Amino acid sequence: MRAFLIVLALPLLAVAAPPGPNPQIGYTEFMRNVVEVSRVREDRRVSEEDFLRMAAEPNTVVLDARSERLFKLRHVKGAVNLSFPEFTEATLAQAIPSKDTRILIYCNNNFTDAPTSMPVKAVGSALNVSTFVSLRTYGYENVYELGPALDIATTKLAFGGSEFVR
């Protein structure tokens, strides 16, 4: 009887046991990267005017990490689209000429009054933060982020896409 109960209990123990380590997922490393980015990010947030000036300079890529669907609706004119879930060493290398390239990023939360193409996310989940951390993790250190929330109707930034008005 005891042996029978032990045999019955073994599958339950397997279910209750924590999963083994996954060498492809590193939460501690992620947290370390977040802390490192927090030391530089605030100084790398730029005004609308600086974003415009920097975007026009050589060796600069404006990166839109939103989905392809949202990018097609509206994006900052001249931006390159590489959706955040598609970030890998190879895809980033295709989109960005070198790790020394200056990268300007923006996300939905940088714009107001465009709920279809720029739906605002929860503050703690704004794509800028994840994008900044991920780019730095992949070795792209020359990253700048559009700082303010801009009204889509009055911003000086030009847009492309099927939804844009001007």
The confidence score (pLDDT) of residue 16 equals 59
Residue 157 CA to its chain's centroid (Å): 20
Q: Which domains does the chain have, with CATH numbers?
A: 27-160 (3.40.250.10)
DSSP secondary structure letter of residue 122: P
The confidence score (pLDDT) of residue 56 equals 98
Q: Minimal CA–CA distance to 56: which of 100, 104, 94, 110?
A: 104
Per DSSP, the chain holds a count of helices (H) and strands (E) of 6, 9
**3-state class (DSSP) for residue 14:** helix
The confidence score (pLDDT) of residue 111 equals 96
The confidence score (pLDDT) of residue 149 equals 97
The confidence score (pLDDT) of residue 124 equals 85
pLDDT tens for each residue of 88-124: 999 999 999 899 999 999 999 999 999 999 998 888 8
The confidence score (pLDDT) of residue 89 equals 98
pTM, 2 dp: 0.85
The confidence score (pLDDT) of residue 5 equals 47
Concatenated DSSP letters of 123-134: GGG-HHHHHHHH
The segments of the chain whose pLDDT lies below 50 read 5, 7
